[in-house]
Amino acid sequence: MKKKLYIKTFGCQMNVYDSARMRDALMVLGYAETDKPEFADVILINTCHIREKASEKLFSELGRLGQIKKKNALIVVAGCVVQADGAEILRRSPLIDIALGPQSYHELPKILTEYNRQKGRAIRAEFPAESKFDFLPRPQKSSANAFLAIQEGCDNFCSYCVVPYTRGCEYSRPSTEILKEAKELVKLGAKEIMLLGQNVNSWHGDQGRDLGDLIRDMAKIRGLKRIRYTTSYPSKMTQNLINTHADTKKLMPYIHLPIQSGSDRILKAMNRQYTVAEYEKIIAQFRAVRPDIAISSDFIVGFPGETEGDFEQTLALVERVKYASSFSFKFSARPGTPASLMKNQIPEDIKTKRLMKLQKLLQSQQRAFNEATVDKELDVLLIERGKENGQLLGYSPYMQGTVVKAPLNMLGEIVRVKIIGASATAITGKIITQ
């Protein structure tokens, strides 16, 4: 009987990718993945540290899993919480056997093989000189929509953000390695690849090649139907990458470009390297080459010192841009970041009020975007079961969640769908052809 591995992933898409690579490494060791933690021999929790609530989830998950796990099951905690607070979480929870920071995943097979309870618990949270990517095994499994990390880390040091401390400095993987991994994912069934990086558009290859060039190379891979990338940083956008949206059919018409705030004063305090006007100019450039492109963003409300006037400017910016989808958060003071020490912190109730107001506006824009696709025909990649029997959920080119009636054996297919209904969160449609 194969040993079983259960994985719980919190946080961003990079964490989903990292979990898949750790799974691949353990599959090579003979583990099989299970969705039932009570039968698992190894329980892996991949954690997120971006906001306070995100790290608290680790401890409620540990509590839940501690109750149901097999007696000898090992608990491995990975991810950014370990990088930030490794020793502290080992102290706080005796359930954790192994703790691994994001740059140490390649050591997991070795640590597990050597694991011996007498030796005590293991923690790895350094930034080793070697790249983990050189040591992780090839992908063993892929979903129809795969993630591929091409860049990691961040040198921007936004004043609120822990990422530069948990993921380290920027690193671009070489294009030969990326293209090889992409071909392997396609062989394993990937139809769409989402290129990932904390600053994905600052990816660079040899001889000044940028992300636009890499995407054009990827588009030549037979069997790969769709390409996406996330997350981009506004001031690192190049005209070449913007043009790729016009000349590369496989590149989907969707761009996630976080602005965070509509006030130049707040952007400066956040240490973001652009102004609102510069951001809007980039959006206009995207729309010039791809008028239908779906635009998405992240927002933070209640950053220290944010006045009603600053917040109004964020609302006004949203009114002007018209977003297809968005993510918005209350500012969360993260230990060790400059913003956590700023004097003029905003009271929780004001943050909540602003967030609700912003989300209402963003939701109405998302609904309007979805409604505008009703009666259109869109290609949808079907990737999971819907809520009801006989339904599948997929994604349109614009990244809209799309519900259709379809048999299970159509999972992983791209189908032509006539859109018949829309809400703020999804669209529904009827399959016309396969």
Footprint of ligand SF4 (CB under 6 A): 154, 156-158, 161, 163-164, 198-199, 233
Give the span between the Cα atoms of 111 and 25, in whole angstroms: 12
| Interacting partner of 40 out of ligand 5AD, ligand SF4, none (Cβ under 5 to 8 A depending on kind) | none
Q: Please, which residue, 122 or 163, has the CB nearer to ligand SF4?
A: 163
Task: Tell me which residue of 396, 431, 427 sits closest to 410, measured CA to CA.
Answer: 431
Number of residues this chain uses to bind ligand 5AD (CB under 6 A): 12
What is the closest distance, in whole angstroms, from the C-beta atom of residue 145 to ligand 5AD in the complex? Answer: 20
Residue 323 in the binding site for ligand 5AD (CB under 6 A): no
Q: Please, which residue, 9 or 34, has the CB nearer to ligand 5AD?
A: 9
> What angle (nearest 5°) sits at the alpha carbon of residue 63, between those of residues 57 and 65?
100
Question: CA of 363: how far to CAs of 354, 358, 359, in Å?
Answer: 14, 9, 6
Residue from the set 47, 244, 260, 263 that interacts with ligand 5AD by CB under 6 A: 260
| Interacting partner of 406 out of ligand SF4, ligand 5AD, none (Cβ under 5 to 8 A depending on kind) | none
Residue from the set 286, 331, 369, 395 that interacts with ligand 5AD by CB under 6 A: 331
- Which distant-in-sequence residues (6+ apart) come within 8 Å of 46 by Cβ? 7, 8, 9, 10, 11, 15, 18, 19, 22, 78, 79
Tokens of 179: 């293209």
3-state secondary structure of 427: strand
Residue from the set 10, 17, 105, 160 that interacts with ligand 5AD by CB under 6 A: 160
What is the closest distance, in whole angstroms, from the C-beta atom of residue 303 to ligand SF4 in the complex? Answer: 12
Tokens of 251: 């590149």
| Interacting partner of 332 out of ligand SF4, ligand 5AD, none (Cβ under 5 to 8 A depending on kind) | ligand 5AD
Q: Please, which residue, 260 or 263, has the CB nearer to ligand 5AD?
A: 260
Question: What kind and span of H or E run contains 165?
Answer: helix 163-166
Question: CA of 265: how far to CAs of 217, 300, 306, in Å?
Answer: 40, 14, 9
**DSSP state at residue 4:** E
Stretch that binds ligand 5AD, among 78-86, 309-317, 324-332, 400-408 (CB under 6 A): 324-332
Give the span between the Cα atoms of 84 and 51, in whole angstroms: 12
What is the closest distance, in whole angstroms, from the C-beta atom of residue 102 to ligand 5AD in the complex? Answer: 15
Give the span between the Cα atoms of 308 and 281, in whole angstroms: 25
| Interacting partner of 156 out of ligand SF4, ligand 5AD, none (Cβ under 5 to 8 A depending on kind) | ligand SF4
Task: Tell me which residue of 114, 112, 123 sits closest to 26, measured CA to CA.
Answer: 112
Count other C-beta atoms under 10 Å from residue 183's C-beta: 16
- Which distant-in-sequence residues (6+ apart) come within 8 Å of 136 by Cβ? 21, 24, 25, 105, 106
What is the closest distance, in whole angstroms, from the C-beta atom of residue 329 to ligand 5AD in the complex? Answer: 4
Binding mask 26-65 for ligand 5AD (x = CB under 6 A): ------------------------xx--------------
| Interacting partner of 236 out of ligand SF4, ligand 5AD, none (Cβ under 5 to 8 A depending on kind) | none
Residue from the set 298, 312, 379, 413 that interacts with ligand 5AD by CB under 6 A: 298
Tokens of 158: 């936004």
| Interacting partner of 164 out of ligand SF4, ligand 5AD, none (Cβ under 5 to 8 A depending on kind) | ligand SF4
Give the span between the Cα atoms of 203 and 226, in whole angstroms: 19
Give the neighbor-by-neighbor strand order of the sheet with 254-256: 254-256, 294-301, 325-330
E-strand ranges in 284-366 read: 294-301, 325-330
Q: Please, which residue, 299 or 395, has the CB nearer to ligand 5AD?
A: 299
Q: Please, which residue, 161 or 252, has the CB nearer to ligand SF4?
A: 161
| Interacting partner of 204 out of ligand SF4, ligand 5AD, none (Cβ under 5 to 8 A depending on kind) | none
| Interacting partner of 232 out of ligand 5AD, ligand SF4, none (Cβ under 5 to 8 A depending on kind) | none
| Interacting partner of 154 out of ligand 5AD, ligand SF4, none (Cβ under 5 to 8 A depending on kind) | ligand SF4
Q: Where are the alpha helices (DSSP H) in 74-133?
A: 80-92, 108-114
Task: Tell me which residue of 230, 313, 235, 314 sits closest to 273, measured CA to CA.
Answer: 235
| Interacting partner of 50 out of ligand 5AD, ligand SF4, none (Cβ under 5 to 8 A depending on kind) | ligand 5AD
φ/ψ of 232, rounded to 5, equals: -95, 150
What residues line the site for ligand 5AD (CB under 6 A)? Answer: 50-51, 160-161, 258, 260, 298, 300, 329, 331-332, 334
